[in-house]
Structure 1
């Protein structure tokens, strides 16, 4: 290899590292916002809706579930990004979901919503009771 080729290789690696670190920062910010959204939704559910109907509760719980699902996907894809208080054992969460026992249906409904579907009447495709 010539010195020009080596220099080009070093420059390429340097810029690849910069791009990766920028991508990681974007993902960290996205995770932070998702955690804030989740906390806001939980606060809304607990504090601001003291006399909410079951329908509103289901919508808020569905939003929380969607955010948790996105976080689990990010944890699987980028496990090293979750350090400290964000660190959760993904395999343990999956085992807990399987133990719930509501995953007998063949449709692609998440386990948690199958449980809700069974106990709280029937939900249509958008999650509303009918």
Structure 2
């Protein structure tokens, strides 16, 4: 039997990141690995959550003006369709206690910038089994 007709769908991932350079790097790291949507603000990401369901969320903590990643994770966890969705903090915050703070706020994992393409992909793979 020919398997050419089988469509392989990539996992749908939302990246919430306000820094354009970080977005470009993440796009390069994730090209062909996941289907990625980008949200530059907390408010925009809330609209995306209502319109679409994602398999995994990558979120920076510092999102510029308005809500922070910590504020946003609390809102995400209130949505029934996102109670079990892996949400990974991808951030430059790397001071002592930051990791624990983010995990206790509701993030499933903490990945400090800078990281390699393989570190990012391995982490995503772990959560999308």
After TM superposition, the score normalised by the length of structure 2 is 0.25
Larger Rg: 1
Q: Is the strand fraction higher in 1 or 2?
A: 2
Q: Is the helix fraction higher in 1 or 2?
A: 1
After TM superposition, the score normalised by the length of structure 1 is 0.25
